[in-house]
Amino acid sequence: MHCPFCQFADSRVVDSRTSDDGQSIRRRRQCPRCGRRFSTSETASLTVLKRSGVAEPFSRDKVIAGVRKACQGRPVTADQLARLAQQVEESVRTAGRAEVDAHDVGVAVLAPLRELDEVAYLRYASVYQAFDSLEDFEAAIALLRAEHQVSGTVSGTVSEAPAPAAEREQPAARG
């Protein structure tokens, strides 16, 4: 591995440790020429299979690019998006497979995005899950409301929020 400081073509490992979750190895290296130290991180490569059949390496940047549009105009910071991409990567890596479908990556986005911003979540879900009617939105919103009620009974911080609007009607049965 080249030294990132002086570009010397070799470096020496001085320390190596596995991360707490066992999914990466971090190495401290020292350059024998300039003596400076730097770290490298080694993780199993993770391949994403797109619907077209194309395989490409998992990329947090691509996750962020996919979510950013849904977050337009919403109070979501770049840091929060970076954190979300990290959560998505952790969640797809937890499955322990070397290859995942692009669909699975999309599924892994839903939960952390819902935590971050429900409007962005609905936008993302509407594209990702191909909502094609108002009923699809109503069903998704009804689910969010139902979960607010559940979490309100568990979490003290949520219970101070105003009660959700009374359920006026059940979502119309479809089909």
Q: Which residues bind Zn ion (CB under 5 A)?
A: 3, 5-6, 8, 31, 33-34
| Shorter beta-carbon distance to Zn ion: residue 37 or 148 | 37
- Compute the least distance from the CB of residue 10 to Zn ion, in Å: 9
Contact 8, 32 (CB under 8 A): yes
- Compute the least distance from the CB of residue 75 to Zn ion, in Å: 44
Q: How far is 87 from 66, CA to CA, in rounded Å?
A: 15
Task: Choose among 140, 148, 96, 105: nearest CA to 120.
Answer: 140
Q: How far is 69 from 57, CA to CA, in rounded Å?
A: 22
- Compute the least distance from the CB of residue 16 to Zn ion, in Å: 19
| Shorter beta-carbon distance to Zn ion: residue 4 or 75 | 4
| Shorter beta-carbon distance to Zn ion: residue 37 or 62 | 37
- Output DSSP code: residue 172: P
| Shorter beta-carbon distance to Zn ion: residue 11 or 87 | 11
- Compute the least distance from the CB of residue 30 to Zn ion, in Å: 9
Distances (CA, A) of 164 to 28, 32, 94, 149, 154: 52, 64, 34, 8, 16
The amino acid sitting at 144 is L
- Compute the least distance from the CB of residue 28 to Zn ion, in Å: 14
Query: Residue 164 CA to chain centroid, in angstroms?
Result: 28
| Shorter beta-carbon distance to Zn ion: residue 1 or 46 | 1
Considering only the C-alpha atoms of the chain, give the largest distance between any 2 of them, rounded to a whole number of Å: 74
Q: How far is 42 from 16, CA to CA, in rounded Å?
A: 10
